[in-house]
């Protein structure tokens, strides 16, 4: 049998609720030269029977000896894939009919790109949100400083390139194994997202990000630290710890923290300029809310904090209403409440309505 252009890799564990629609969305692709490789990971529900109900020669099933876990299933799929390209697919999502055709055409036309995702729709409780992650390599590398830039279920990669570089999923970062792989891949290839809505992603209580949000965020922060080390091996532990505290609004409310975070912002801006060859002010613009929050938590110390806020390059680029709001807080010595640990990942829920958190660091 000739090797297919694409292997669609779908791990399955107890996916009976949505798996039929997921499989049907692949079988309905306009590009027909593919295999659907399903790695059945010891499901205890009706998933195996539902899979067996499809009679299509393009479906190939590998049954794990038991429940081996997602990372092991993904690596088994990469090892067994036959396609030139490997497209990831989750058993609870939907690929739109043109997905494979559009991504194959993109990778064929851009041989320097080793991995591409796409824009996608997020479906949550009857509401559909259209999500447009960064599309070009430079923007993606910038955003990797803060979060993953790919919906895992939208990714297509060049199998031979990943094999040649020994790129595989790892258990070292529970529930953020995809983000870790993209960071490693960024060392060897260009990255992209196709600017078309090609996948529908379902948000539901059984999503990993719903069941393990704290562990996933911790893993994602560790991946980010690894990415920062790739860019600058001289970074110290204090700076690597400061980054997630600042980005996740987990800082304390004192002058020392303001000074520490201000220094890190400036070093991060220099890093973006020297290693990513991008304007350093992108850091200040992206972390405007975080810099305001750092200073706002220390507003009890009064005007010296407002002066530090305004003198900093991030404060010099601040919109007027943040400058005014912080001035009032410092005048009245009314700091932004420091969130309790249980609420640290969600500043709005912690009573800080004037702080807008950065998009979640981890993948959906």
The two tokens of residue 161 are 């390139």
Across residues 137-161, what is the average pLDDT?
Answer: 97
pLDDT in tens, 297-328: 999 999 999 999 999 999 999 999 999 999 99
Residue 214, pLDDT score: 87
In sequence order, which residues have a C-beta less than 8 Å from that of residue 207 and are 6 or more positions away?
Answer: 92, 364
Domains of the chain: 6-212 (3.90.550.10), 232-343 (no CATH)
Mean pLDDT of the chain: 91
pLDDT at 209 > cutoff 80: no
- 197 vs 348, which has greater pLDDT? 197
Measured CA to CA, the distance from residue 356 to residue 293 in angstroms comes to 9
Between vectors from CA 222 to CA 270 and to CA 151, what angle results, nearest 5°?
90
Residue 362, pLDDT score: 35
- Phi, psi for 334 (deg, rounded to 5): -115, 95
Q: Where are the alpha helices (DSSP H) in the chain?
A: 19-27, 47-52, 70-80, 99-109, 137-143, 159-164, 177-185, 208-211, 213-231, 237-247, 255-275, 281-286, 288-297, 303-311, 313-316, 320-332
The answer to whether residues 328 and 299 touch, using CB atoms and an 8 Å cutoff, is no
The two tokens of residue 314 are 């991030």
- Phi, psi for 264 (deg, rounded to 5): -65, -40
pLDDT in tens, 27-73: 999 999 999 999 999 999 999 999 999 999 999 999 999 999 999 99
Residue 210, pLDDT score: 67
Measured CA to CA, the distance from residue 20 to residue 35 in angstroms comes to 16
- Sign of the CA dihedral running 248, 254, 258, 264: negative
pLDDT in tens, 74-85: 999 999 999 999
């Amino acid at each position: 049998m000739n090797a297919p252009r694409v292997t669609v890799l779908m791990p399955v564990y107890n996916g009976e609720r949505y798996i039929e629609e997921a499989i049907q969305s692949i079988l309905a692709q306009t590009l027909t030269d593919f295999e659907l490789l399903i790695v059945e990971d010891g499901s205890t529900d009706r998933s195996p029977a539902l899979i067996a109900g499809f009679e299509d020669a393009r479906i190939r099933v590998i049954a794990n000896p038991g429940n081996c876990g997602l990372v092991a299933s993904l690596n088994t799929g990469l090892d067994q894939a036959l396609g030139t390209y490997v497209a990831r697919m989750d058993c609870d999502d939907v690929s739109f009919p043109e997905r494979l055709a559009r991504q194959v055409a993109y990778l064929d036309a851009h041989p320097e790109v080793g991995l591409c995702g796409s824009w996608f729709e997020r479906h949550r409780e009857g509401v559909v949100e259209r999500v447009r992650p960064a599309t070009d390599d430079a923007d993606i590398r910038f955003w990797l400083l803060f979060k993953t830039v790919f919906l895992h279920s939208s990714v297509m990669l060049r199998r031979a390139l990943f094999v040649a570089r020994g790129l595989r999923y790892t258990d070292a970062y529970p529930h953020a194994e995809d983000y870790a792989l993209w960071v490693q891949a960024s060392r060897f290839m260009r990255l992209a997202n196709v600017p078309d809505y090609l996948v529908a992603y379902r948000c539901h209580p059984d999503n990993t990000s719903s069941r393990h949000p704290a562990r996933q965020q911790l893993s994602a922060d560790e991946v980010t630290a690894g990415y920062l080390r790739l860019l600058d091996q001289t970074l110290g532990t204090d700076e690597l710890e400061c980054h997630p505290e600042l980005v996740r609004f987990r800082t304390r409310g004192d002058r020392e923290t303001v000074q520490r975070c201000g220094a890190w912002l400036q070093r991060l801006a220099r890093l973006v300029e020297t290693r990513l060859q991008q304007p350093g002010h992108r850091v200040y613009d992206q972390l405007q809310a975080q810099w305001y929050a750092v200073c706002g938590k220390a507003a009890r110390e009064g005007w010296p904090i407002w002066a530090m806020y305004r003198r900093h390059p991030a404060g010099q680029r601040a919109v007027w209403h943040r400058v005014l709001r912080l001035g009032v807080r410092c005048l009245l010595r009314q700091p932004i409440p420091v969130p309790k640990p249980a609420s640290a990942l969600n500043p709005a829920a912690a009573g800080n309505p004037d702080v807008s958190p950065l998009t979640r660091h981890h993948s959906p």
